[in-house]
């Protein structure tokens, strides 16, 4: 029985046969963290260590002087560092919140509601998954430029609100929720929005994943004035 509890799909304890897999995964995770550790190590190196040859992986005399110089120097230039941080935080927060909300509402509608062209819309979303962002950069730029959204934070936000990957993942998750939940809520007089807000939204909150936090190429594409860097 103890062996069964350690080998079933959702084990309640670690079985000794799983130790070798944990060791492999822990080693692989540590290896994948090395670039991040190296990045922070490089950022905290003083100048003499930064250009030292042969280079060293870990910093010996960590310092925050590099960050201080960065903010101090850029504070008197055309674009202060705080502007970069402000744009990144604002755009990221708005895009994450709105893209998750839009994808969740669209996924709920495509999964549980009945309306015309439902299958066509979902198939169009599947087709959109085949187009990588780099292939859509030029036509997207022409559309944004025609709308007059260059050098505007809206030009960073609006084009990436539609998330085919997010819609697909949430729709697949909502498909697993039983239809009896909708039927019982409808009997109680709940509207579709009330059902989504009070029931499905709470269930979906457990599945949230931030799909895209940063877009490095797109902001540089639609920026013309240095103010909106």
Q: Tell me the C-alpha distance between 159 and 168, whole Å.
A: 18
How confident is the model at residue 212, as a pLDDT?
A: 47
Per-residue pLDDT tens digits for 205-226: 655 544 444 444 555 555 555 5
Set out the domains of the chain in order of their start, with CATH numbers: 2-63 (no CATH), 81-228 (1.10.3720.10)
How confident is the model at residue 216, as a pLDDT?
A: 46
Cβ–Cβ under 8 Å, residues 59 and 41: yes
pTM summary value:
0.63
Per-residue pLDDT tens digits for 157-207: 888 887 888 888 888 888 887 777 777 777 777 777 777 777 777 777 655
First-to-last alpha carbon distance for the chain, in angstroms, is 61
How confident is the model at residue 28, as a pLDDT?
A: 93
Q: Tokens for 139?
A: 């036509």
Per-residue pLDDT tens digits for 21-80: 889 999 999 999 999 998 888 888 888 787 878 878 888 888 888 888 888 877 777 778
């Amino acid at each position: 029985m103890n062996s069964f509890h350690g080998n079933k799909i959702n084990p309640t304890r670690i079985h000794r046969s799983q130790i070798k897999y944990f060791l492999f995964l822990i080693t692989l995770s540590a290896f994948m963290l090395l670039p991040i550790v190296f990045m922070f190590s490089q950022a905290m190196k003083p100048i003499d260590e930064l250009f030292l040859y042969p280079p060293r992986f870990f910093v010996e005399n960590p310092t925050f002087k590099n960050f201080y110089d960065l903010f101090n120097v850029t504070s008197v230039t055309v674009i202060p560092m705080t502007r970069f941080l402000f744009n990144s935080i604002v755009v990221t927060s708005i895009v994450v919140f709105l893209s998750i909300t839009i994808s969740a509402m669209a996924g709920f509608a495509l999964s549980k509601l009945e309306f015309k062209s439902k299958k066509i819309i979902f198939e169009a979303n599947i087709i959109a998954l085949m187009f990588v962002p780099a292939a859509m950069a030029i036509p997207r730029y022409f559309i944004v430029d025609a709308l007059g959204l260059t050098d505007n934070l809206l030009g960073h936000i609006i084009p990436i609100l539609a998330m085919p990957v997010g819609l697909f993942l949430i729709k697949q998750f909502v498909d697993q929720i039983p239809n009896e939940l909708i039927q019982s809520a409808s009997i109680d007089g709940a509207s579709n929005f009330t059902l989504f807000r009070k029931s499905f939204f709470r269930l979906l909150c457990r599945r949230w994943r931030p799909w895209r936090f940063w877009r490095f190429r797109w902001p540089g594409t639609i920026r013309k004035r240095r103010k909106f860097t």
